[in-house]
Amino acid sequence: MLFIWHPRYSNLLGEFGEAVSCYYVDEEFTSYYGMPESEKQQIRAQEEVLLRGVDLVFANGSVLLDQKNKHGNASDVPMGVDFGLFSRALLEETAVPSDLGAMRPPESATSVT
Amino acid sequence: MNDKVDFELLESIARAKPLWSVILVGPLSIRTPEFRGNFEKLRQLPNVHHLGFRPLETLPNYVRGLDVCLMCYRTDGWAYYGYPLKLHEYLAGGKPVVGSDLPSIRVFSGVISIASTVEEWQSAIEAGLNDNSALESASEYKWPVRILGKNGSTD
């Protein structure tokens, strides 16, 4: 299986005799602030090779899915979370770091006059 | 802290609410000179604290210490297409969340607050400060559930 995550590697498609090829796209690579138009055009061309050539496109979220499903081979793969790790924030035993604990708590809206 | 973050908006919020502490966690990775300048202005404020990089395993500790978690992103260019992982990390931590009006965030408007103007951000944060309820929706976004489905199978 060939798994490609950036259009710049589009030239590798088919180079390994892969049985399945995937393109995982988690951002719009032509949308960086200040990116020259010539670079955008190059990336668009490279990405089109991927979108047309791979078996599966995994788009991170519905916005990218809309953009990248022009050949009907894309699926929306939403973000997930390490719930076990981050839900530890709910536990009494989880200590607030000292660099936060020393700060003044915010004034709540109910105490604003 | 990258080019997606709306540092000007954060500055406006911090200036309007000097008794609030704005905590920024994460390494700096700002490429656009204008945005870098905006960040430098922001972090000069006395109630703004940039802590820099913190290891992944300590992030729940930081989330526990926060009252409201923010996703204060620009809504143009690169940021427009973003889908912040921290959205689900914040929700898993049971905290009130306020986010910019981005398409990927709008999907979750039933469980978080969405704000555009400075006034809307202030109101949403104030509402969050008074919200003691932990949110449950994050469990749908556990990685095993995302991969296997809610019933634990790949059907």
- Determine, for residues A89 and B61 on separate chains, whether the beta-carbon distance falls below 8 Å: yes
Q: Please give the residue that has the higher pLDDT: either A109 or B37.
A: B37
Give the model's pLDDT for residue B151.
57
pLDDT of B153 reads 53
| A102 at interface of B, judged by CB pairs closer than 8 A | no
Looking at residue A109, what is its pLDDT? 42
Mutate to test the interface with A, among B6, B8, B45, B64 (most CBs of A within 10 A): B64
How far, in Å, CA of A8 to CA of A30, rounded? 12
Q: For the residues B145-154, what does the mean pLDDT come to?
A: 54
Q: How confident is the model at residue A110 (pLDDT cuts 50, 70, 90)?
A: very low
Given the structure tokens 């202005």, which residue do they identify? Answer: B41
Q: Which residues of B touch A36 (CB under 8 A)?
A: none
A89 has pLDDT over 50: yes
Residues of chain B in contact with residue A103, where contact means CB-CB under 8 angstroms, are 21, 23, 49
Q: Grade residue B155 by pLDDT with cuts at 50, 70 and 90.
A: very low
So what's the pLDDT on residue A60? 93
**pLDDT at position B131:** 75
Residue-wise pLDDT tens digits, A44-70: 999 999 999 999 999 998 899 999 999
β-bridge partners, B73: B5
**Measured over all CA atoms, what is the biggest interatomic distance in chain A, rounded to whole angstroms?**
70
For residues B43-64, give the mean pLDDT.
95
Kindly report the average pLDDT of chain B as a whole number: 88
Q: Residue A95: is its pLDDT beyond 60? A: yes
Contacts of A35 (CB under 8 A, 6+ apart): none
Of the pLDDT bands very low, low, confident and very high (cuts 50, 70, 90), residue B64 is very high
Q: Are A25 and A57 in contact (CB under 8 A)?
A: yes
Give the confidence band of A112 by pLDDT, cuts at 50, 70, 90.
Answer: very low
- Spell out which residues of chain A touch residue B126, defining contact as CB-CB under 8 Å: 108-109, 112
Q: H helices of chain A, where?
A: 37-53, 62-68, 83-86, 98-101
Considering only A9-13, A108-112, B133-137, which range has the smallest mean pLDDT? Answer: A108-112
Q: What is the pLDDT of residues B82-115, one digit of tens each?
A: 999 999 999 999 999 999 999 999 989 999 999 9
Residue B146 has pLDDT above 60, yes or no: no
Q: How many helices (H) and strands (E) are present in chain A, helices listed first?
A: 4, 4
Q: If you average pLDDT over every residue of chain A, what do you get?
A: 91
- Residue type (1 letter), B144: P
Among B24, B81, B101, most A C-beta atoms within 10 A, so best to mutate, is B81
Annotate B46-69 with b (16+ C-beta within 10 A) or e (fewer).
ebbbeeeeeeeeebbbbbbbbbbb
Chain A residue numbers with beta carbons less than 8 Å from the beta carbon of B49 are 103
**DSSP three-state, residue A80:** coil
Percentage of the residues of chain B whose pLDDT score is greater than 70: 85
Backbone torsion region of residue A61, taken as left when φ is above 0, otherwise alpha when ψ lies between -120 and 50, otherwise beta: left
